[in-house]
Amino acid sequence: MYPDLYAYFSGSWRFTRSMLGTDKLVIGDAEGRAEFHSCEANCLEYKESGQLLLAADQRVVSFTRRFDYRIEGDVVHVAFADGVQAGQAYQSYRYEPAQKALLPLETHLCILDRYDGRYVLIDADRFDLHTRIEGPHKDYLLHTQFKRAID
């Protein structure tokens, strides 16, 4: 059995994110807010905004990103909702009950770089997103920890 993924993700979240190089050195740390709002039947619009502190020069960069999450039972299809890739598929995931996780159905390729993500549903108010990015242009791990916002 799988949880109601639409209800699980809906609402406001706070997050922290670390970017680690393959040498385990910190590239940057971010924090921000994320919102999952209904955009149509079985679809949630995801929008995040925050601040990224780059370790190399201590520069702070503001960012925003949007995705659409289409939920079909135990499968979540994520598509880009902004930028030049708006409307294009990003990655699809299937819920794996034994791991309490959404695991990728396929790898996302961006030119020659590969993106593999995994959502771990910790409890009703917390989940982690682990994204491994590797290839000739990028090589790092993103670890994002989400906590439901209570406000």
Look at the chain and report how many structural domains it folds into: 1
Helix boundaries (H) for 2-137:
5-9
Rounded Cα gap, residues 74 and 110, in angstroms: 26
**Gyration radius of the chain over CA positions:** 15
Rounded Cα gap, residues 87 and 30, in angstroms: 26
pLDDT band at 110 (very low <50, low <70, confident <90, very high): low
Rounded Cα gap, residues 43 and 33, in angstroms: 19
The single-letter code of the amino acid at 132 is R
Structure tokens at 45: 């619009």
pLDDT digits (tens, 9 = 90+) for 44-86: 999 999 999 999 999 999 999 999 999 999 999 999 899 888 8
CATH classification of the domain holding 111: 2.40.128.20
Summary mean pLDDT of the chain: 91
Print the domain residue range for 50.
Answer: 5-148
